[in-house]
Structure 1
Amino acid sequence: MAVMNKMRESMKTILLILVLAFIATIIFDWGMGGFRGKRPQGVIAQVNGDEISYEEFNDAYQQELKARREQTGEDIEGYQLQQVENQVFERLIQQRLLRDVIDQMNLTTTDDEVGEELWNNPPDIIRNTPAFQDSTGNFDMARYQAALNDPQLDSQWQSVVNYLQNAMPYQKLGNMINASTLITDDDARLEYMKNNIKMRVNYLFFDASSFAGKESEPGENEIKAYYDEHSKDFIEKEKRVLDYVLFELQATRSDSQAVFKQMEDLMNDARSGRTFAEMAGIYSQDTGSAENGGDLGYFKREAMVKPFSDAAFAAKVGDIVGPVVTQFGVHLIKVDDKRQVDGEEEVKASHILLKIEPSNATRDALRDNALYLAEASKESDLKTVAEEEKLQIATTQPFTSDGFIPGIGMEQRVSRFAFRAKIGDVSDVLYLDRGYLVAELKEISKEAVPKLDAVRSSIVTTLKTEARMNLAKQAAQAVYDKLGAGSSLEAIAQSVNLGVTTTDEFTAGRSIAGVGKEPRFAGVALSLNQGDISQPVEGSRGYYLIQLFQKTEFNETDFEQQKEMLKSQLTVRQRNQMFTLWYTKVKSEAKIKDFRNDYL
């Protein structure tokens, strides 16, 4: 009876997690993640005609914020809010698209399939539930199936059945997408070699930049032909320009004075006998040490910023010193101990950190000023009101809808205002990490292909770069053709006025010192035998001739021990790639309308 009661207590938690797991299954298991406009009211997006309501989006958005708040203990803000918004929006789009595919393919689940899955293959959350585990922590199938047969749990198991009925069609779709996934022993062997075989090579580098001035000037016909062939590459997206006023969130003199007054009070409390660790736990804004009573452990002088170290190392054991000002804020420091390690002094200290930040009163005053500016500017214009109020007005450089806004940063809400507004429109107050912003749309530049003369210099640079790379290739090939059997790079390097470079030990899966991340270089080196010299190898900046002179042996025993793990990792990677390619194609062919500009 006690076991069954424990199972019943577990069911509510199981069912809640299953709901979350269902969402995660849809998004990740196969590879991975007030109305202003004239759009359909209450609709934030359409996917092949299927509407996603603002209410549905906002519910999912708030749930995600709540989950992250519970995970981190802090509210997220600024750019992180934009990331969450994008992730939730994309998740809803993906759910709709996958459901469309499932409906089109008529992927359904029968009661027998659900029953068999429930009986033989319970979800991981159930396998990991203590109520269904034995004394050693292993899943107990008999105990689990006994719970399935308990009629008193029928109503609660029905929710699990509902979960499987919803989830299994997505699992079937995932299985179909992944059906062609095949990782062989040879794939695992190559992966092992990339990560474990260590090499050293000699190489000659034919730097394309060394041929500058030796290439011929591109002719007009060549320039025009390149322009015509690559005209799509020159398309300039629609751009917008904003005038704006930013009320920056900066601590005032009054805010700083309040922090120093609080630090003085803490100093007096500490000297009066109040426990330093207790105060640090309550007041310190260094979350990393506050939970340990402000304890920083032992540290060397150079481990801390100079003002902090100077104060701590100058004090005696037991002293409480402060306030000490650093770029992090204001510190109160208690020196707990000192010691010598290898002839170098170390200090053990605790501290209380108070950050100098804008107070609520400062924030409120800035927000009120921004609200007044926004409302007044809508009756007039931003420049006029800003000048009357002696506020500094700035102007952005032209920016695209998906790019960085010069002077402002990556701020989607600002971008969305800019790309839904008409010239002369003034925004509401836009809340940024840095403060409160009011903007007015100043200019619109429509998408266009620039004239040839506007991109001529970039085309000439590209053609010259290609010509230099070709000259580097020819030079490398000419040297290679002179090499005979048993030749070495050193023997011919002087004749072409190049030095032979020897690499440090490297593996093919990592960046190579002096060379960088050059996949062709690493791959060719891995394929060479001792003493072999490669054909010319193209790099990002020129061509290489590579001679292998050291390579570790393949460890068959170690490979066999890692093989199944490697195959598993490669399978996941391949499934990720396959799902991404498949989903990208599905999404590109879908009719998706994004109305977020009308809401957010």
Structure 2
Amino acid sequence: MAVLSKIRQRSLILILVIGFCLLAFIIGDIINSGGFGVTRNVGSVNGKDIPVQDFLQKVNDVQARQQGISPTQAANAVWSQEVDNILFEERFEKAGLRVGKDHIFNVYAQDPQVAQNPQFQNALGKFDKAKFNEFLVNMKTTNPAQWQMIEKNKGLVENAAKKQLYLTMVKAAFFATDADGKAKYASETDKASFDYVFVPYSSINDDQVKVSDEELVAYMKKNEKKYKSEASRDLEFVLIENKPSQEDEAEMKKEINSLLLPKVEYNETTKANDTVPGFASVANNEEFVNKYSDIKYDTTYVTKKQLPVEFAEQIYNLGKGQVFGPYIDNGYYKLTKMINKKGNASAKASHILVAFKGGAAPDPSITRTKEEAKAKADDLLKQVNANPGNFAMLAMTNTDDPGSKQTGGEYDNIMPNQMVKPFNDFVFNNPVGTTGVVETDFGYHVIKVTGKNEAVQLATVAQKIEPSEATTDAIFTKASKMEMEAEEKPFADLAKSLSLTVTPANKVMANDENIQGIGSQRGIVKWAYSNDTKVGDVKKFDIPQGHVIVRLKTINEKGVLPIEEAKISVLPIVRNEKKAELIRKKMEGTSVEAVAQKTGSTVASAVDVTLANPTIANVGSEPKVVGKAFGLSAGKTSGLIDGQLGVFMVRTKTIAKAPALPNYTAFTSRLNGEARQQVQGRLSNALKENADIEDNRSEFN
């Protein structure tokens, strides 16, 4: 009792101590999870979290595998894959799917890096499961690091196998009946002819029909699934490019021109002045180019086709030691000097490959013997020599080389030793026009040499055209002024006063990276979505092209389409509904002639229209109108029909039924194929549409 009494006396102290301990525990957990306002998860799908560390590791893996991919592109790809995996895993569990070794091997067999590796192929060039299995067994002891990598990805491969199996099962459940095939046949071949009277919506001016923002929102809410929209931002920006002025270009031209003339320079080695000859007279071209050029000296021989198109003729026709320039090419001022020319540098030839069984890179469908291949090649050569102009057609119908089949057997700009030796020797050792048969490991080639090219070796001094320091400073000042004054003055007016163009960037999503007109600008997107950024805020960003001043124009929350976007896609629909009401009042009468007379229109005819292509000549696509015409008996007249482009009344003249077929297998097969091709995309979209997805990835990239 005494103890309880003491506890009661110190109850306040105990409460404070316990409270302090709980607070410390919570704060510690917050610190361990990354701090206040930071989540440990990139998001979740149907309550299943996607941990940030795992996610970022996968992003790094994608970047390591795919050179040149940006962090944002990698993050978006991983996110899409993670969401898909979770949603499909739920389906696998419900279906009770399990996969075995054969399913796993099928996944590997579809990976080009595995299936096309000769180490895992049989004599026919096909993926061999036994060879691959042997490789995996040996790897565990011979290459533990690689084995660990395969073990790490085991779950991904199993999921891929399950997904493959699951999709196969779903596709098998999609089937079209004979009735479906018959209906498809009818929609494509039954034909309706009818008279109609048509009053277009365009007969009423848009300004005669007012549509409020509230009416647009109400329409979208009635069709919420069709017009739902994710959160987005509308921006506007001006780009102030950091580019050289005319004075800068004139100064650079003067500077590069001076390289054509001899000049006196102080020599650090001899401690005396030396006269340096001009570019045309200099003996050591490599030293001169590397000293004065932004692009190092290159000894490579190039063909005329590889020269700048605008100046190719002048450069190619230079004499040895002559200089052309200065000229502007790809942002550089250039001087080009002819060093050397050589003939037979590249060639153009056409060929027909006649392969045989057992040759290199075999095609299992090729069964002809080596002797039969030779005989066919000799026969084709006779046809080529008899009618040289027929070579391309002979190649397209006879060659076993898929790489040149569509070009009529032609290979252009063949470099020495690019082809196998017998082919190479024939092309480069024979004059243009020579034909013949050559044997290689791939088969027999019927070859015609169609061209030879000279190549030139050049020395080029290239100096990048860049703005001067004074120009760069002036551009920076202009951009800073725009940023500061935009806080007080209307953005468009300010841009106009500085002779700048305002560019809109609408519907920028939270995980976007590119902004049209200025490229990859993840920093701008993150700024637009920051909690500190409000509508009307302006900020200057320094980008490779110069400076961009951005204004946040609108914040569009998740829901239906933003009003500005709705005015593009929804406004015409709602406006036409209102126009239809006005037009209907004018279209009085029970016959097409009476309505035509009342509205000042004419009665027109549509002939042989099908349901599959419900297009009325000189009007456009009108599915509802054509469908109504098919539904009427001959001679019957419809009521008024609100179509895509106006209000119609139709009178059916004839319905021409196509003759019945013995069976509709071709149509049924086509329907099955089309439906099954769409299974994966439609299923994935349906799962996402019905899932509870929380997406926080914009916080991490």
Letter in 1 for 2:82: L
The partner residue of 1:124 within 94, 102, 110 is 110
Give how far 1:594 is off.
1.6
Residue in structure 2 matching 1:39, options 37, 46, 52: 37
Which residue of structure 2 aligns with residue 571 of structure 1? Answer: 676
Q: Separation in 1 of the partners of 2:464 and 2:190?
A: 52
Q: Identify unmatched segments of 5+ residues in structure 2.
A: 1-32, 141-145, 261-277, 284-288, 338-452, 561-565
Deviation at 1:520, TM superposition (A): 0.9
Q: How does 1:437-456 map to 2 (within 5 A)?
A: 437=548
- Aligned residue number for residue 623 of structure 2: 520
**Structure 2 counterpart of 1:95, one-letter code:** N
User: Using the alignment, how far apart are the partners of 1:122 and 1:84 within structure 2?
Assistant: 23
Give SS of 2:175's match. coil
The 1-side partners of 2:616 and 2:242 are apart by 44
Q: Report deviation, 1:542.
A: 1.1
Q: Which has the higher strand share?
A: 2
For the 8 Å contact 1:215–1:468, the answer to whether it is kept is no
The residue type equivalent to 1:144 in the other structure is K
Higher helix share: 1
Q: What is residue 452 of structure 1 aligned with on the other side?
A: none
Aligned pair partner of 1:165 in 140, 158, 169: 158
Give the equivalent residue in structure 2 for 1:24.
none
CA distance in 1, matches of 2:249, 2:697: 41
The AA in structure 1 aligned to 2:527 is F
2:305 maps to amino acid? D
Amino acid in structure 2 at the alignment position of 1:91: Q
Q: Is the contact between residue 104 and residue 158 of structure 2 (CA under 8 Å) also seen in structure 1?
A: no
RMSD: 7.5
Counterparts of 1:418 and 1:498, CA distance in 2: 55
Deviations 1:477-504 (Å, cap 9, x if unpaired)?
Answer: 9565669xxxxx9xx8999532637799
Call closer, same or farther: CA 1:538–1:369 in 2, change over 3 Å.
same
Q: Which amino acid aligns with 1:594?
A: N
Please give the alpha-carbon distance, in whole angstroms, between the structure 2 residues aligned to 1:407 and 1:136. 51
Is residue 144 from structure 1 mapped to residue 154 from structure 2 by the alignment? no
Measure the CA separation in 2 of the matches of 1:48 and 1:201: 53
CA, structure 1 residues 368+178, in 2 after alignment: closer, same or farther (shift >3 Å)?
farther
SS of residue paired to 1:105: helix
How many Å apart are 1:228 and its aligned residue? 9.7
Could you tell me which amino acid in structure 1 is paired with residue 623 of structure 2? R
Q: Distance in 1 between matches of 2:239 and 2:233?
A: 18
**Structure 1: tracts of 5 or more residues without a match:** 1-34, 70-74, 274-278, 298-303, 335-347, 450-454, 484-488
Q: Does 1:500 align with 2:500?
A: no
Aligned amino acid, residue 643 of structure 2: G
> What is the aligned counterpart of 1:541 among 631, 636, 645?
645
Could you tell me which residue of structure 2 aligns to residue 89 of structure 1?
79
Alignment of 1:106-255 (within 5 A): 107=96, 109=98, 113-118=99-104, 123-125=109-111, 128-138=116-126, 143-145=128-130, 148=133, 152-153=137-138, 155=140, 159=151, 164-171=157-164, 173-174=166-167, 180-184=173-177, 187=180, 204=196, 206-209=198-201, 212=204, 230=219, 232=221, 247-252=240-245, 254=248
TM-score by length of 2: 0.46
Higher alpha-carbon Rg: 2
- Whichever residue aligns with residue 160 of structure 2, its letter is A
Q: TM-score by structure 1 length? A: 0.51
Percentage identity across aligned positions?
14
Name the CA distance, whole Å, in 2 between partners of 1:405 and 1:151.
46
Q: Does 1:580 align with 2:685?
A: yes
The aligned residue for residue 11 of structure 1 is none
Contact 2:167 2:680 in 1 (8 A): no
Are positions 1:469 and 2:580 aligned together?
A: yes
Query: Is this contact kept in 2: 1:119–1:145, CA < 8 A?
Result: no
Equivalenced residue count is: 485
How do 1:257-336 and structure 2 match up within 5 A? 293=303, 295=305, 318=317
Residue-by-residue CA offset, 1:201-226 (whole Å, 9 max, x unaligned): 787462343663999999xxx99996
Does residue 594 (structure 1) correspond to residue 594 (structure 2)? The answer is no
Aligned partner of 2:434 in structure 1 is: none
Per the alignment, in what secondary structure is the counterpart of residue 576 of structure 1?
Answer: helix
Structure 1 residues 186 and 256, CA gap change in structure 2 (3 angstroms): farther
SS of the residue corresponding to residue 416 of structure 1 reads: helix
1:296–1:168: structure 2 CA closer, same or farther, 3 Å change rule? closer
| Structure 1 position 568, deviation (Å) | 2.1
- Pick from 80, 89, 105 the counterpart of residue 94 of structure 2: 105
Matched residues in 1 for 2:455 and 2:590: separation? 65
Contact 1:200 1:505 in 2 (8 A): yes
SS at match of 2:678: helix
**1:332–1:400 distance in 2 versus 1, CA, 3 Å:** same
Farther-moved stretch of structure 1 (420-429 vs 122-131): 420-429
Instruction: Give the distance between the partners of 2:625 and 2:41, measured in 1 at CA.
Output: 51
User: Residue deviations 1:42-76, cap 9 Å, x none?
Assistant: 6443445554455544454455556654xxxxx57
Counterpart position of 2:413:
none
